């Protein structure tokens, strides 16, 4: 079973920031938090990952709670191309990913 | 490198036929994963290889399924005597785990998938 919980769906307006939450209350000390997204008819695409500290890359930012029991993926300015299913995954020592149903993000023009 | 590639992208077959899919990982990656995804669900793990060794298989991988990774490069996934329930997207991912100060991190890169339809 997936070790994370996410809202089933979220909506955002174009060019506004989006905060996608993820709860992972049973996270262990060695679990990395990964975020992937999947556009229709495509394979999942890596977005960002982190362990304890907040992370930024060209696609997004990852804010990790101090107790690591939750995290938030931040898209700073949503575009129509960001409409996808976003998955939050815990991964330990490079084992296989366990995907949940993810959050379906809709971006309104 | 152009990323993970999979072939074919689409396969339609009749129930009872055998099918084989191919995955070419990113060249320097030593791990290769296979996942299956049905409509509206997240991908489900099937099996993975470390170089040419198959290290883990999911209970989803029935005896009709077999995967190989000869020489630790490309991989094939074969389904024998296909059933309608095998209709799904089959995804391949590759990675190269690395040790960091916090532990071992493993970013998997996925291919576009092979969509199988069993009639």
pLDDT in tens, chain A (109 residues): 558 999 999 999 999 999 999 999 988 888 899 999 999 889 999 999 999 999 999 999 999 999 999 999 999 999 999 999 999 998 876 677 888 889 999 999 9
Q: What is the pLDDT of residue A100?
A: 87
Q: Which residues pair with A40 in a beta bridge?
A: none
Contacts of A54 (CB under 8 A, 6+ apart): A61, A62, A63, A64
Interface of A to B at Cβ within 8 Å reads: 2, 30, 32, 34, 36, 41-46, 49, 51-52, 85, 87, 91-102
Say whether B105 and A43 touch across the interface (CB within 8 A).
no
Q: How far is CA B8 from CA A20, A105, B22, B33, in A?
A: 34, 29, 7, 17
Pairs of residues, one from chain A and one from chain B, whose beta carbons lie less than 8 Å apart: 72
Q: What is the pLDDT of residue B50?
A: 92
CA distance B60 to B62: 6
pLDDT grade for B1, boundaries at 50, 70 and 90: low
Q: What is the pLDDT of residue B22?
A: 98
* Among candidates B31, B110, B113 on the partner chain, residue whose Cβ is nearest the Cβ of A94: B31
Structure token digits, residue B59: 């209970």
Residue B118, SS3 per DSSP: strand
Residue in the structure block whose two tokens are 């905060």: A19
Cβ contacts (< 8 Å) between B41 and chain A: which residues?
A: 101
Q: What is the pLDDT of residue B78?
A: 97
């Amino acid at each position: 079973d997936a070790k994370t919980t996410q809202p089933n769906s979220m909506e955002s307006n174009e060019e506004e920031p989006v905060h996608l939450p993820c709860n992972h209350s049973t996270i262990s000390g060695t679990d990395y938090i990964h975020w992937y997204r999947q556009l229709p008819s495509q394979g999942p695409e890596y977005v960002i990952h982190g362990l304890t500290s907040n992370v930024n890359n060209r696609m997004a930012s990852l804010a990790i709670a101090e107790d690591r029991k939750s995290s938030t993926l931040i898209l700073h300015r949503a575009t129509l191309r960001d409409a996808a299913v976003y998955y939050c995954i815990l991964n330990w020592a490079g084992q296989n990913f366990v995907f949940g149903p993810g959050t379906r993000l809709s971006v309104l023009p | 490198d152009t990323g993970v590639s999979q072939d074919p992208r689409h396969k339609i077959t009749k129930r009872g036929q055998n099918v084989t899919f191919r995955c070419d990982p990113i060249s320097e990656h030593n791990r290769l994963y296979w996942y299956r995804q049905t409509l509206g669900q997240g991908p489900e793990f099937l099996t993975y290889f470390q170089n040419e060794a198959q290290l883990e298989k999911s209970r989803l991988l029935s005896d009709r399924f077999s995967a190989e990774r000869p020489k630790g490069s490309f991989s094939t996934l074969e389904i024998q005597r296909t059933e309608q329930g095998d209709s799904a997207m089959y995804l391949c991912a590759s990675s190269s785990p690395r040790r960091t100060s916090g532990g071992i991190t493993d970013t998997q890169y996925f291919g576009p998938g092979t969509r199988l339809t069993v009639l």
